Amino acid sequence: MRAIIVGAGIGGIATAIRLAKKGYQVEVHEQNSYPGGKLTAFEQDGFRFDAGPSLFTLPELVDDLVGLQELPGQIDFPYYKLDESCRYFWDDGAHLIANTDPVKFGNEVEKVFGIDAKVITQYIKDASFKYEKSATLFLEKSLHKTSTFFSKEVIPAILNIYRFGLFETMHQLNHKSLKHAKLEQLFDRFATYNGSDPYQAPGILTSIANLELNKGTFYPKEGMHQITERLVKVAESLGVKLIYNSSVEKIIVENKQAKGATINGEFHSADLVVSNMDVYPTYKRLLQDQPQPEAILNQERSSSALIFYWGINREFKELGLHNIFFSKDYKEEFRHIFKLKSVHHDPTVYVNISSKHSPEDSPEGMENWFVMVNVPANSGQDWDSIIPEARKNIIAKVGNRLNVALEQYITTENILEPRTIESKTSSYKGALYGSSSNNRYSAFLRHPNFHQKIKGLYFSGGSVHPGGGIPLCLLSAKIIDDLTPHAS
Ligand code: FAD
């Protein structure tokens, strides 16, 4: 049996591996000349930059795929756990280093802010409880199959649903349990891990803290692009054909059954088609003649991002791999992103420096800075004015906090922004994570991993269930694996 996959994003590659392992002859068609979609890398003037994701959690989901290769042990995926999850900086001089061990992190919070360490350990315990009880229902199974709700693994989730904080916002829950403005900001920030607003998103998202501050954050030895590179090798070891510069134009449906796709004007037949393209353009471009699920397609988009890739010609000992420079008024920052659809003059700035762990990523004595602020999805804003203004504000903010005139150290620069995120990956409006999770029902409103009326048509990746981010994209492939028959 033949399968065609539209797109070699991480969700597409993971689905290809799983279907090939089930005996399908798999072809992945990727419109770009390279795999990975958002999870890619580039080099510029002696610096290497991971272009998209920088935070790696739940590595076992990648191990799972590496373990499916034909010759076990041949393709390895080396990574290690980080002791430090992030360095946090506030404009008033406050500074906190978060450890991935909850007890050590609690002690650090007690030392810096005078808050009892137990407040933090209890918070992380609660986050872990919510995560462990809810993950099977919300992340690991299709929410669109009745059988899910009768399987024994989801019973604990259903019995504990009232404890998940679905009826309060993340910020309300954080305020109740932490009662400390800076810590509330620190834990509210986890809403941005799926592009949402902590002042609207449901309290269940407080469970995200469990990943970074309990299960831990990890670093692939050669940087984030290693995830794409190794999974492509695993796919190839299973006979998957990855075809680049190959844009799928149409998914062919006959008698409510996917029959293949049109690619460069030619029909390619298949028994099963999986779209890893964002679900919005999948319908609007590839399934134009099919009924459009407008309510799902028109949900609010997640935030997008503005990223400056800077080669910095000196080292900053006070910075680590992941660094956050918080805004003074978090609520106002999110009001700008989600209500005003603009960029606040004082944004929270994330600085990732992979050369702290991979010195070969920059020339000696220098650093490769990935500098990102959350911005609204593209709705036609005047980005040509917004971007230079944001650049100026970021340079002033980070420079002031580090006590340097930062601009003089920037030796090379590249920029990614909502319009280019969309043009490079076809992500609708340049949103990083598909639709936002600002609505308490959002988990149920994401598009399923299968088409409810067209047989043989499936959807993987960050714009469909269970959501965006590397781990969830990998889980979308696992759900498709559960839903599809073995070939032959
Ligand atoms: P995508 O990466 O969206 O790729 C889809 C692919 O399909 C693309 O290669 C595209 O070219 C191809 N395609 C589209 N249409 C067609 C067509 N018609 N024919 C052929 N090919 C087509 N996640 C984390 O876990 N941690 C992070 O730290 C993190 N940070 C991020 C920072 C940035 C700047 C960005 C952009 C994203 C970040 N994310 C992060 C999110 C993460 O990158 C995404 O959720 C994930 O990579 C999306 O994968 P996907 O499978 O949905 O495919």
User: Hey, is 346 helix, strand or coil?
Assistant: coil
Å from CA of 207 to ligand 1 middle: 23
Å from CA of 462 to ligand 1 middle: 7
Å from CA of 97 to ligand 1 middle: 30
Residues with C-beta less than 6 Å from any ligand 1 atom: 6-12, 29-32, 37-39, 52-55, 247-248, 276-277, 305, 307, 421, 425-427, 432-433, 461-462, 468-470, 473
The complex scores an ipTM of: 0.99
Q: Indicate whether 387 and 446 sit together in one domain.
A: no
Please name the residue ranges forming H helices in 403-469. 418-425, 442-445
In a domain, 355, yes or no: yes
Q: Indicate whether 372 and 359 sit together in one domain.
A: yes
* Domain-ending residue, one of 216, 241, 269: 216
Nearest-CA residue for ligand 1 atom 9 is 37
Q: How confident is the model at residue 72 (pLDDT cuts 50, 70, 90)?
A: confident
Which ligand 1 atom lies nearest to the CA of residue 29? 20
Residues 6+ apart with CB under 8 A from 403: none
In a domain, 447, yes or no: yes
Å from CA of 278 to ligand 1 middle: 9
Q: Which residue has the higher pLDDT, 139 or 27?
A: 27
Alpha-carbon distances, residue 76 vs 68, 72, 229, 230 (angstroms): 12, 9, 11, 8
Cβ atoms of residues 128 and 214 within 8 Å: yes
Amino acid at position 143, single letter: L
481 burial (CB, 10 Å; 0-12 / 13-18 / 19+) is: middle
Q: Indicate whether 316 and 397 sit together in one domain.
A: yes
The pLDDT assigned to 258 comes to 98
In a domain, 464, yes or no: yes
pLDDT digits (tens, 9 = 90+) for 220-275: 999 999 999 999 999 999 999 999 999 999 999 999 999 999 999 999 999 999 99
Nearest-CA residue for ligand 1 atom 33 is 52
Å from CA of 352 to ligand 1 middle: 19
Q: Indicate whether 203 and 119 sit together in one domain.
A: yes
Q: Best substitution site from 27, 49, 249, 276 to test ligand 1's pocket, by max atoms within 8 Å of Cβ?
A: 276
**Number of independent structural domains in the chain:** 3
In a domain, 470, yes or no: yes
User: Hey, is 24 helix, strand or coil?
Assistant: coil
Alpha-carbon distances, residue 412 vs 366, 407, 409, 427 (angstroms): 12, 11, 9, 27
Å from CA of 461 to ligand 1 middle: 7
Q: Indicate whether 386 and 278 sit together in one domain.
A: no
- CATH code, domain carrying 343: 3.30.519
- Distance between CA 177 and CA 218 in Å, rounded? 28
117 burial (CB, 10 Å; 0-12 / 13-18 / 19+) is: middle
pLDDT digits (tens, 9 = 90+) for 81-106: 999 999 999 999 999 999 999 999 99
Q: Which tokens go with 231?
A: 């999974």
- Distance between CA 319 and CA 278 in Å, rounded? 35
Which ligand 1 atom lies nearest to the CA of residue 424? 11
User: Hey, is 345 helix, strand or coil?
Assistant: coil
Residues paired with residue 42 on neighbouring β-strands, in sequence order: 49
pLDDT digits (tens, 9 = 90+) for 9-54: 999 999 999 999 999 999 999 999 999 999 999 999 999 999 999 9
Å from CA of 277 to ligand 1 middle: 9
Its domain, for residue 164, covers 103-216
